[in-house]
Structure 1
Amino acid sequence: MIESVFASHDGVELFYRTWPARSGTAKGAIVLLHRGHEHGGRVAHIAEELGLDDFAFYAWDARGNGRSPGERGYSPSFAHSVRDLDCFVRHIRETGGFTMDQVAVVAQSVGAVLAATWVHDYAPDIRALVLASPAFDVKLYVPFAKEGIALWQKLKGTIFVNSYVKARFLTHDPERIASFESDPLITRPIASNILLELYEAADRVVVDARAITVPTQLLISGSDFVVRYQPQHRFFENLGSTIKERHVLPGFYHDTLGERDRAKALDKVRAFIAARFDESPVVVDLRQAHVAGYSRDEADRLATPLSITSPRGFYWALTRASIRFGGLFSNGIRTGVRTGFDSGSTLDYVYEDEARGLGPGGRLIDRQFLDAIGWRGIRQRKIHLEDLIGVAFGRLRAAGKPLRVLDIAAGHGRYILDAVAKLDVRPENIRLQDYSPINVDRGNALIAERGLKDIATFQRADAFNTAGLASVEPRPTLAVVSGLYELFPDNAMIEASLRGLSQGLEPGSLLIYTGQPWHPQLEMIARALTSHRGGEAWIMRRRTQQEMDQLVAAAGFRKIEQRIDKWGIFTVSLAERI
């Protein structure tokens, strides 16, 4: 066993253990993720007992746990820890020489929710996923405990909740009980933000498990005192994997892979992983998901009109009327009603994030509008865009390439111009494009305001015109597509656009693209908001991250890294033209 550290996305060095393959060259990498409150040493026995000698095993101590730094039981957010996992797997691949389809993940409890969220949000094409008693719904026992913790956090900020779980309720194994009780690295507290966000991420992943197509094995403990098993079964039922197994283990407590009779569980894990690596990798092709698939079905349901005489139809009619009424007082709502809530004008208003309206009441309504979860996600997407534009500039400079930027649907161009202004290097050329004359006029005004007319231009152009994108001069080295593809359900349009970018970018050039794999307000948007297309209903077909990544890969790009907000709504990815 080798002890090491790796630098995560924020520079914090997290501790991990490695067990090299006993057979020499590793056939693959198996990543072990521990329970909440614990550390990688608690899953060390799995590397020995699985008996998969031709695999390398890796087990980390999650941030705030074990020998990794940070306040005990704390992480800035659950999404922060999911991104830690993404960095950990990337580190394993780079140092071990593994491709993504040579990686399998075996995770327990909270670690299993981390793994499921990572697979859902980042869409890695790993070979296999094993989830043991995932903590989709922790039993708090005290009535309204979750609501009380949420209220206390809102009033006092982050608080810490001590685990009530005794070792004898985790396993029947006396040695595991004794080691748990004497282990100085096990910590009782968990931060309230992590506990609450664990519930939120679990709810989202369980409901939207159709987005997960990785071969998955689910192990459910039959006598679990710590988590409820109903969401585990719902997760399995919703799974989009063509290869999936569910095993209920009667009498098992929560520490499924550390139980007295764990050989029964480990036998199933061993057989599942061995079978996956004996066969070719299974990757579901989602490029036709706009024709047939669950996101198409969802969009069709949202596009189906509701009778005004039905309770739901009447409710949404009242909602639409209230929005129009709010537009009399709120500048933001008025902009959305006039230009479409998905228009460049509305997004520019959301980016400014300054409540304006008729008197104090109008400003209050406008603030409520601006603080809607979707708009908060949009502003976080802007931050991620600026971050990845900086990363892209750094990579291009390191490769000795000129800095020439193309945004094919820039809206007013604010996020691009803001991002460039924050960097210590000035690009050689910035070309902004949009199909809307209003956006072109506003964008040119912004360029003039910022004194960038010597390097920046804004032109009217069609973002789906393959030939037009392929012939842009000077040839860009960084292309940006933000908030565009999410508005159009047809993948043929996206493929035409990506094909033009692929032809217009030289190998080694970079692409930044956004996605929207999830949104908690899809029905509200479809039933109550209008789009920029002539006041039509704003009906979105979600693309899973895997679907979006496959479209990008098919056009000749290799995804390098990704960002996602803590709500799991908007992603921003960086890819290289290969």
Structure 2
Amino acid sequence: MQEQQKTFTTQDGTALFYRYRPAADGSSDKAILLFHRGHEHSGRMMLVADELGLDDMAYFAWDARGHGMSPGERGDSPSLGTSVADIQDFVDHIQAAYGIAAQNMVVIAQSVGAVLVSTWLHDYAPPIRCAVLASPAFKVKLYVPFARSGLRLMQKLRGNFFVQSYVKAHYLSHNQARIDSYNNDPLIARAISVRILLGLYDAADRVVADAAAITTPIQLLISGSDWVVHHGPQHHFYTRLGSRHKERHVLKGFYHDTLGEEGREQAFTQIRRFVRARFAEPFAAVDVSDAHLHSASRREADELATPLSPWTPRGAYWTAQRWLIRLGRHWSSGVKLGVDTGFDSGSTLDYVYRNQPQGKNALGRAIDKNYLNAIGWRGIRQRKVNIGQAIQAAMRQLRAAGKPVHVLDIAAGHGRYVLDALTATERPDSVRLRDYSPLNVAAGRKLIEERGLADLVRFDEVNAYDRSNYQQLEPRPTLGIVSGLHELFPDNDLILNSLYGFGDAIDTGGYLIYTGQPWHPQLEMIARCLSSHRDGQDWVMRRRSQQEMDQLVAKAGFAKVRQWIDEDGIFTVSLAVKRESACSMQKNQHA
């Protein structure tokens, strides 16, 4: 079939180039999506469509930002997270423009493209059929000692800059035609920006460490004689995968360009068989809604909740760290607030949102600034921004459908993040804020009065986990919000009470905004050193994968339509629409 060259538009308005080849047998219900390695472009991935021989599949191959025919400085992107989000936009475009469901999509990705796809699988939990990852660049061989730390220091001093690839074509493939085409291709971008290179390392580290969260069927192809990337992280990724269907094939003698190597039919034979086997079975996502009972995250949380003896090196270290934090409260206003009210309290979050270092003196303000710049608090502030974007997107959809905007937030804290977002452009029709804490409710009401919003917003003291509290609300909410609440409690049965409550209260076509925390690099520090608002207990968190969170929301009758995530992959914000059939099903099951 004749190849077509097209573009799709990302959420930030960028038009990215892609190649489309319809299925050779005229089928229109299945697709293979191709993602090229770093420095390259879609044209060099189309040999997969030429040689794979799956004629009932349509083929789509993109040019990532800064590559091939897509815009942007060569080898660069606003961030690695932006490029990962572009994958979701690409999939959304294919579903909307070609009518191909995600569950009938196969992803084949190579090198840097395989890292982008792995990060997407982890962070967005898309319900695709399967993925083939060829020589993922989880750890690039830089060969220069301390190169990674040196690049990071130079980035701080110089800002973003570019480095040239040292890799020659004859180290990528034994195939002479492939070598010649690489050397003569004007679209090859041999430079890569430092922010993308370092972002690649950072994303790979967390995805490899948390591969258990990925349940998509995965076939991993490892080039046995790879000069470009290390094998170790690829094997670690494979052994930790949560996939029930997973395969690993080490292709002896292959260089890094796995799918363009001499003898690549070895790889294609494995890919053909794997893809056919996945389509021979009905699509069924792995059910992780009981992860609070048995899962990697449950084991992790149990280990963090296990006390350490202060007489062991590890126990002594964390005891000292906890003591230093308590000492810091004498000078830092933020640390003192956390110690007094809990580091997960509404008061602490409101302080983090304001982001204004305060203390008794210069030392206290310096401590406070360092405290507020912690990676987790930076992620919280980005979550606030993303919630604002989600609220505005939901309001636009409701207005376009001719529906009123009646907002219900069940755990608003002081309500600052909601009030900031709701009044940014147009006002909703009504806002009902709730929280269990009298302190938070009083602070929220004061904020409402200060902003002159008493005619629009009401704030009540209500238990979010009592399903009866969602009954007979007038006006009925059309937009529900739950932010930061579910992350505080490990029990899925408990949080389902609130989600079913939303399902009761919101009619078909309404929206729900919910947050998640699939990753956090400081879990042990938080568990060993910080106290919770719940009677001063240790703040032990059980992470939920995005797939787990999405499945819980689906049980209440909502389907995710869009997602946002911070650059460090810590906090997600998702927008879901109420489905018709699931609502009545849940009411019948839980009446």
TM-score (norm 2): 0.97
Percent sequence identity is 59
Which stretch shifts more, 505-514 or 468-477? Answer: 468-477
> 1:283: how far off?
1.2
Provide the rounded CA distance (Å) in 2 between the counterparts of 1:455 and 1:154: 45
> 1:470: how far off?
3.0
Partners of 2:95 and 2:101 within 8 A in 1: yes
CA deviations over 1:53-105 (Å, ceiling 9, x no partner): 00000000000000000000111110010001110011011111011111110
CA deviations over 1:543-575 (Å, ceiling 9, x no partner): 000000000011100100000000000000000
> 1:130: how far off?
0.3
Aligned to 1:537: 538
Partners of 1:215 and 1:282 within 8 A in 2: no
Aligned to 1:118: 120
- Extract structure 1 runs of 4+ deviating beyond 4 A: none
- 1:479-558 equivalences under 5 Å are 479-558=480-559
Partners of 1:223 and 1:250 within 8 A in 2: yes
Aligned to 1:340: 342
Is 1:21–2:38 an aligned residue pair?
Answer: no
Letter in structure 2 aligned against 1:522: L
Letter in structure 2 aligned against 1:564: I
Aligned to 1:158: 160
Is 1:234–2:236 an aligned residue pair?
Answer: yes
Aligned to 1:103: 105
Instruction: Please give the secondary structure, in 1, of the residue aligned with 2:133.
Output: strand
| One of 187, 204, 207 as aligned partner of 1:205 | 207
RMSD between superposed Cα atoms in Å:
0.6
Partners of 2:125 and 2:547 within 8 A in 1: yes
> 1:387: how far off?
0.6
Provide the rounded CA distance (Å) in 2 between the counterparts of 1:243 and 1:340: 42
> 1:24: how far off?
1.0
- 1:406-421 equivalences under 5 Å are 406-421=408-423
Aligned to 1:463: 464
Instruction: Please give the secondary structure, in 1, of the residue aligned with 2:45.
Output: helix
Provide the rounded CA distance (Å) in 1 between the counterparts of 2:471 and 2:97: 37
Partners of 1:40 and 1:61 within 8 A in 2: yes
CA deviations over 1:282-307 (Å, ceiling 9, x no partner): 31111111011111110000000001
Letter in structure 2 aligned against 1:438: L
Unmatched 5+ stretches in structure 2: 580-591
CA deviations over 1:133-190 (Å, ceiling 9, x no partner): 0000000111111111111110010010100110000000000000000000001110
- 1:148-227 equivalences under 5 Å are 148-227=150-229
Which stretch shifts more, 240-249 or 23-32? Answer: 23-32
Provide the rounded CA distance (Å) in 2 between the counterparts of 1:327 and 1:377: 22
Partners of 1:329 and 1:362 within 8 A in 2: yes
Provide the rounded CA distance (Å) in 1 between the counterparts of 2:64 and 2:265: 26
Aligned pair count?
577
Letter in structure 2 aligned against 1:446: L
Unmatched 5+ stretches in structure 1: none
Provide the rounded CA distance (Å) in 1 between the counterparts of 2:565 and 2:484: 14
Provide the rounded CA distance (Å) in 1 between the counterparts of 2:282 and 2:52: 22
Provide the rounded CA distance (Å) in 1 between the counterparts of 2:535 and 2:162: 51
- 1:97-496 equivalences under 5 Å are 97-423=99-425, 425-496=426-497
TM-score (norm 1): 0.99
Provide the rounded CA distance (Å) in 2 between the counterparts of 1:193 and 1:390: 30
- 1:47-62 equivalences under 5 Å are 47-62=49-64
Instruction: Please give the secondary structure, in 2, of the residue aligned with 1:236.
Output: helix
CA deviations over 1:344-369 (Å, ceiling 9, x no partner): 00000000000000111100000000
Provide the rounded CA distance (Å) in 2 between the counterparts of 1:327 and 1:84: 43
Partners of 1:6 and 1:88 within 8 A in 2: yes
Letter in structure 2 aligned against 1:390: Q
Provide the rounded CA distance (Å) in 2 between the counterparts of 1:470 and 1:73: 54
Provide the rounded CA distance (Å) in 2 between the counterparts of 1:364 and 1:293: 40
Provide the rounded CA distance (Å) in 1 between the counterparts of 2:349 and 2:242: 33
Provide the rounded CA distance (Å) in 1 between the counterparts of 2:320 and 2:153: 30
Partners of 2:29 and 2:101 within 8 A in 1: no
Partners of 1:470 and 1:501 within 8 A in 2: no
Partners of 1:562 and 1:574 within 8 A in 2: yes
Letter in structure 2 aligned against 1:66: G
Aligned to 2:586: none
Aligned to 1:34: 36
Provide the rounded CA distance (Å) in 2 between the counterparts of 1:317 and 1:195: 36
CA deviations over 1:300-350 (Å, ceiling 9, x no partner): 000000011111111111111111110010000000000000000000000
Instruction: Please give the secondary structure, in 2, of the residue aligned with 1:104.
Output: strand
> 1:407: how far off?
0.4
Provide the rounded CA distance (Å) in 2 between the counterparts of 1:172 and 1:472: 68
Letter in structure 2 aligned against 1:461: V
| One of 61, 77, 80 as aligned partner of 1:78 | 80
Which stretch shifts more, 279-288 or 194-203? Answer: 279-288
Aligned to 2:584: none
- 1:85-100 equivalences under 5 Å are 85-100=87-102
Partners of 1:116 and 1:205 within 8 A in 2: yes
Partners of 2:413 and 2:444 within 8 A in 1: yes
Partners of 1:470 and 1:502 within 8 A in 2: no
> 1:208: how far off?
0.3
Provide the rounded CA distance (Å) in 2 between the counterparts of 1:27 and 1:387: 33
Letter in structure 2 aligned against 1:2: Q
Aligned to 1:566: 567
Instruction: Please give the secondary structure, in 2, of the residue aligned with 1:567.
Output: coil
Aligned to 1:3: 5
Partners of 2:29 and 2:99 within 8 A in 1: no
Provide the rounded CA distance (Å) in 1 between the counterparts of 2:472 and 2:314: 49
CA deviations over 1:397-423 (Å, ceiling 9, x no partner): 000000111100000000000001211
